[in-house]
Amino acid sequence: MLSHARVGCVNLGAQVSPAALATAVDTTSAQTAVAVSHLARHRAAAVSALRAVEHSSATLSYAGAAFRTTATRHAIPARYLGGNLSDAATEVRTQLLRTTG
């Protein structure tokens, strides 16, 4: 969705490891990192990936149905973008435009 909106991005695919996300963020000097989980069983892995990049200067966000309830979003070191990926992509694009001018 981001590439269709002409936003440069790298999609690391499903169930990316925390180490792989950290490497990608560090080596590309990413401005933002987004983790997505629609399945509750993958929620913890998405949160672990975000925690692995807390040290970076990238803006951290997450989205997906696995985080719809307030209880599932407790203590996550990132901004919730909602359950709708199209809306989340629009928000990320807007956020990037604000920071890059």
* pLDDT, tens digit, 9 for 90 and up, residues 6-51: 667 788 888 899 999 999 999 998 888 999 999 999 999 999 999 9
Q: What's the sign of the alpha-carbon dihedral 41, 3, 97, 86?
A: negative
Structural domain boundaries in the chain: 18-100
pTM: 0.85
**pLDDT, tens digit, for every residue of 69-89?**
999 999 998 999 998 888 888
Tell me how far apart the alpha carbons of residues 99 and 79 are, in angstroms, rounded to a whole number: 16
- Determine the residue type at 64: G
Tell me which amino acid residue 89 is: A
